[in-house]
Amino acid sequence: MQTIDLQAQVDSFPFWYHRIELPGGITTPGWAPLSPEAYRIPEDLTGKRVLDVGAWDGFWSFEALKRGASQVVAIDDFSDYLGLLENKDRHAWETFDLCRGAFGYSEEVCQRRELSVYNATEDELGRFDVVFFFGTLYHLRYPLLALDVLSSICDGEIFVETAILDDFSPYQGGLGNGYSGAQPVMEFYPNNEYGNNETNWWAPSVSCLGLMTIAAGFPDVSVWKLVDQPREIAHCRGFCHGKKAA
């Protein structure tokens, strides 16, 4: 694929969520992830089978393969429109496929399935060494169920990233007013209270996120925030790394 043709194809899409560095010095014009290093993904994933939940354009799917994963399965149900996109702006797997082709990954090594996380069963997808669960938990009506489902097909470790309440709560006064005392709290949003997005259903505190991950079957857990004192809602994000018992 010639560079000029690839650039034209990238430019043909009205919206990119992920900023992905493609061959030939081309970078997709997305904004996520804000800080890849903050996710604390191991540099070496050699031989690992990885599930990428809520893959969107595929940044973390491709990153896993760059780090040596033997196979990645990306799933998404395309239910999130960020509270602002129209149907015509969300191109399902087209952006993912464009990037996969640009990198030269085969459909066998880099698979993608249109699938809800609730249907991510062993019969459908097999088993995984590592699960990426980024930017998805707070969009789910049943977040703990989703963690349970993912635990049932994961033999190793899970990495989770989500909106959190530690520094922002629409019910507690907005930015700078959350649950900063390690309270295991989760809030429910029946409308668009969090970020003006009707698909944001729940947000946990980072402490709650860790306890949920333990409850789902990952006893060895660590949690952290994207930034200590966020100055905008987009930076109110938290992480969890959970490992199965040896």
> Domain holding 113: CATH number?
3.40.50.150
Classify residue 48: in a domain, yes or no.
yes
The mean of the pLDDT values for the chain is: 93
Classify residue 59: in a domain, yes or no.
yes
Classify residue 30: in a domain, yes or no.
no
105: pLDDT strictly greater than 60: yes
The confidence score (pLDDT) of residue 88 equals 67
The angle subtended at Cα 151 by Cα 124 and Cα 59, nearest 5°, is: 70
Q: What is the DSSP string of 30-88?
A: --B-S-GGGG---S--TT-EEEEET-TT-HHHHHHHHTT-SEEEEEE-----TTT--GG
Distance of CA 69 to the CA centre of its chain: 17
Structure tokens at 105: 């990954």
* pTM reported for the whole predicted model: 0.94
pLDDT tens per residue across span 117-169: 999 999 999 999 999 999 999 999 999 999 999 999 999 999 999 999 999 99
69: pLDDT strictly greater than 90: yes
21: pLDDT strictly greater than 80: yes
Q: What is the DSSP string of 167-190?
A: SEETTTTEETBS--S----EEE-S
Q: How many domains does the chain have?
A: 1
Classify residue 12: in a domain, yes or no.
no
Q: Give the residue numbers spanning the domain of 205.
A: 42-243
The confidence score (pLDDT) of residue 246 equals 74
Classify residue 196: in a domain, yes or no.
yes
Q: Are 99 and 58 in contact (CB under 8 A)?
A: yes
- Sort 76 into a burial class: Cβ within 10 Å, 0-12 / 13-18 / 19+: buried
Classify residue 211: in a domain, yes or no.
yes
Classify residue 210: in a domain, yes or no.
yes
201: pLDDT strictly greater than 70: yes
Q: How many CB atoms lie within 10 A of CB 102?
A: 20
Classify residue 24: in a domain, yes or no.
no
